[in-house]
Homo-oligomer: A and B are copies of this chain.
Amino acid sequence: MLSKKTRYALKALVVLGKNFGGVPIQISKIASEEHIPKKFLEQILLDLRNAGLLYSKKGSGGGYGLVKDPAEISVVQILRLTGGPVALLPCVSLNFYQKCDECDNEVTCGVRDVFVDVRDVTVKILSETSIADVIKREKNLIENYTQ
């Protein structure tokens, strides 16, 4: 399962993505719109900023904005930045690999082999999907929903 941190980050990036090119948006606005605890969101956006994904502006009229086009930001990148695991087993993770305590030789582990496949299809989807794509999906869903 993704952590709340990861979820909140994705939600916030969608908001910022819709606003790409516009004036900065305040944390408090995103927090209230998306029902995210403000102080928690503060930390998260700070992380994303320190990772070079967002710019920030202090003082009155300040806030956050995307540095890059939302089409250039993949969902998988956000999971990794916010520590969210993509793989279902540590011994299968590309970015957060950890040796399996149980296995003598993980290369011949059948269970691991299955979850390598799961990881591959998951990473494929999440790396091919950008924040812009998420926004597009949302638009399509709203269209079909209100029909």
Q: Which residues of A contact B (CB under 8 A)?
A: 1-2, 7-8, 10-11, 14, 34-36, 75, 85, 87-90, 101-102, 105, 107-111, 113-115, 117-118, 121-122, 125-126, 129, 133-138, 141-142, 145
Contact = CB atoms under 8 A, between A and B. Distances in A.
B102 A145 contact: no
Given A1-B90, A2-B89, A89-B7, A118 B111 contact: no
A98 B44 CA distance: 23
B108 A1 contact: no
A8 to B, nearest CB: 8
A110 B11 CA distance: 9
B114 A125 contact: yes
